[in-house]
Amino acid sequence: MASTGLQLLGFFLALVGLGATIAATVMVEWKKQHQENTHPIYEGLWTTCSENNERTICEFHQQLLKLSTEVQATRAVMLLSIFISAVAVLVSTVGMKCTHFLDGRPKSKSTAAMVGGIMFMVAGLLIIIITSWYVRMIVRSANQSHHLQSFEFGKAVFVSWVGGLLSLAGGGFLSCRTCWQSDASESLSASHFFPTSNQVSNYV
């Protein structure tokens, strides 16, 4: 069925988006700080890495209160988004047509798929919003900094954006209510025009 294919496509896109979100959360290259005559410093949500004599030295953030506001907020929202997406995976699995959960309750099954898709969409929106805000903060810091010191956002920002967009698109396919309605109408029309053989004939 077409709706089953859309559900599988949406579920696959949402899973890829969740994987990209997890990858972006643990990546180091969220922020790149470079000064003249010094090696670049990469700042992530959990660690800070610096290149020195062809070696990369990374240190975990020890004190949470000393972190910048953008790092604390981005870390919290990314973890929240991952949690919402993980719950959405479970809910969507129950509601998908290719599974046997709630087979005797089609309305509850379609509602579960729609709720899972909405949760994926919420998670995707959170990722896009917090990543865009993080980039805005980096650009503002770059404009306010000294010319000898530059700030750039790294690859993790783009991975995070992709993860948010994929989660948003996948959730949109999963929450497609019209797909369920079309299948319901097809089943009703089939039962109307092709009655079962158990019906009693009026003719002898």
Distance CA 168, CA 180 (A): 20
What 3-state class would DSSP assign to 27? coil
Question: What pLDDT is stored for residue 25 in this prediction?
Answer: 92
In the chain, domain spans: 2-30+65-192
Instruction: Burial-class residue 100 by CB neighbours within 10 Å (0-12, 13-18, 19+).
Output: exposed
Question: What pLDDT is stored for residue 193 in this prediction?
Answer: 35
Distance CA 22, CA 20 (A): 5
Angle at Cα 108 formed by Cα 115 and Cα 95, nearest 5°?
55
Instruction: Burial-class residue 199 by CB neighbours within 10 Å (0-12, 13-18, 19+).
Output: exposed
Q: Which CATH architecture has domain 2-30+65-192?
A: Up-down Bundle (1.20)
Distance from first CA to last CA of the chain, Å, rounded? 39
* Tens-binned pLDDT, residue by residue, of the chain (204 aa): 337 777 888 888 999 999 999 999 998 888 887 666 567 778 888 887 777 766 777 777 766 666 777 888 888 999 999 999 999 999 888 877 766 666 666 677 777 878 888 999 999 999 999 999 988 888 877 676 655 556 677 888 999 999 999 999 998 888 876 554 544 444 433 333 334 444 444 444
Question: What pLDDT is stored for residue 182 in this prediction?
Answer: 46
Strand boundaries in the chain, DSSP class E: 31-35, 41-43, 47-52, 55-60, 149-153
Output the pTM of the full model.
Answer: 0.76
Other residues' Cβ atoms within 10 Å of the Cβ of residue 127: 33
Question: What pLDDT is stored for residue 35 in this prediction?
Answer: 62
Question: What pLDDT is stored for residue 39 in this prediction?
Answer: 72
Of 192, 5, 200, 191, which is closest to residue 98 (Cα–Cα)?
Answer: 5
Distance CA 180, CA 58 (A): 50
**Which residue do the tokens 């290259």 mark?**
29
